[in-house]
Amino acid sequence: MATEKRRSPALLLRKKYGAPGHKTIAAVAHRFLTPAAKTAVGKLLNKINAQSLESIAAWADEIKPTSSHTPNDSDTLKFLAAFPVTNEWHFVDLPVDATSYDTTIYAAFTREDDVVHMSEECINILLDKSTKFSKLNALRWLTHLIGDIHQPLHIACSYIDSSGTKPKLVFKKDDILSKNLLQKSDRGGNKILLMTSVGTGGKALHSYWDTTLFGMVDDFSSAAYDPPPAVAKNKLATLPSLWVGDNVQFAKEAYKGLTVKGKDAKQHTKVDVKWNKTTYDKRCAPIVKKLCLKGASRLAFLLNSIYE
């Protein structure tokens, strides 16, 4: 378990993973459900007159304090009374050079309420191993968090060293710790601005992955179910940490080809980076599609295994 907890108020400003990506993963996953899983999921969704996983995929963002539209069904209201702030459930800020999700090796970077631990909690609730919150809310959270796990900037990021004349993006665990940069996360790429012209901050790296790259992806109508290897039901809750370990490699691709220009002229806490859009898009758009498909199959696999 993490020995060092980070509760910086700035982390609450982290932007959400785009709703279209979440809904796409959920819609594809719903197509992959077995009849038994569809029946069980349908019974939970009937409580809020919902028809599919797609309809609940963005709920975890809609309940944020900054949301302009918060659901008011009884399960949501009970949840918010018990857990009014859940922003940190959506991510874990592993170093870009991380090779796994390991709470011993990366103790300073993991939290008891990070995306991995909360995914595990949801699985355990659906397996009747926990009563932390309702099964409906566990389903809503799990549908969303599996999507977050498959967006690389929700699981790893750089740490910004501003001690020199020009900021540096630090990727290695030991360097981050030795330079005391734990409180200097780039917030999943939200503090990295892709320059549209010299001296002008453009779209944040996180937002670029959420929206722009996703918008380049072809439709998923022909997606095929590709489940991971079978595991015992009592081992299902171990899978989110393994999947983060599998996906963290793609964070390196997210930062590859970015060159720091300096602090942003308008927002001094952020960093402008130069990049080659054509090269970047060609390399990274296929990664987005690959991870969406993988997330859909894995979400379906979890639900199929829970309700077998």
Q: What is the residue type of 279? A: T
Query: CB of 272 within 8 A of CB of 201?
Result: yes
Nearest CA among 87, 108, 111, 94 for reference residue 159: 94
Q: Residue 268: is it exposed, middle or buried by C-beta count within 10 angstroms (0-12/13-18/19+)?
A: exposed
> How far apart are alpha carbons 200 and 231 in whole angstroms?
50
Q: What is the pLDDT of residue 201?
A: 58
Mean pLDDT value across the chain: 92
Query: CB of 140 within 8 A of CB of 60?
Result: yes
pLDDT tier at 265 (50, 70, 90 boundaries)?
A: confident
Q: What is the DSSP letter of 87?
A: G
CA torsion sign, 213 to 250 to 277 to 267? positive
Query: CB of 190 within 8 A of CB of 206?
Result: yes
- Cα distances from 147 to residues 27, 183, 238, in angstroms, run 11, 26, 17
Q: What is the residue type of 227? A: P
* Tally of CB atoms within 10 A around 109: 26
Nearest CA among 248, 225, 229, 250 for reference residue 239: 229
The residue count for the chain: 308
Q: What is the pLDDT of residue 159?
A: 98
CA torsion sign, 29 to 30 to 36 to 41? positive
Which ranges in the chain belong to alpha helices (H)?
Answer: 19-31, 35-45, 59-62, 74-82, 115-126, 135-149, 173-178, 205-207, 213-215, 239-247, 249-255, 277-306
CB within 8 Å of 235: residues ≥ 6 apart: none
pLDDT tier at 305 (50, 70, 90 boundaries)?
A: very high
Q: What is the pLDDT of residue 69?
A: 82
* Per-residue model confidence as pLDDT tens digits over 183-204: 999 999 999 999 875 545 589 9
CA torsion sign, 289 to 216 to 264 to 8? negative
> What is residue 38's three-state secondary structure?
helix
Q: Quote the pTM value.
A: 0.92
Enumerate the β-bridge partners of residue 159.
170, 185
Is the pLDDT confidence value at 98 over 80? yes
CATH architecture of the domain with range 9-306: Orthogonal Bundle (1.10)
Q: What is the DSSP letter of 265?
A: S
Is the pLDDT confidence value at 164 over 50? yes
Enumerate the β-bridge partners of residue 303.
none
Q: Residue 197: is it exposed, middle or buried by C-beta count within 10 angstroms (0-12/13-18/19+)?
A: exposed
Domain boundaries, the chain: 9-306
> How far apart are alpha carbons 164 and 143 in whole angstroms?
42
Is the pLDDT confidence value at 12 over 70? no
- Cα distances from 189 to residues 11, 126, 135, 149, 160, in angstroms, run 12, 32, 32, 15, 11
Q: What is the pLDDT of residue 6?
A: 36
Joined together, the tokens standing for residue 220 give: 């998923």
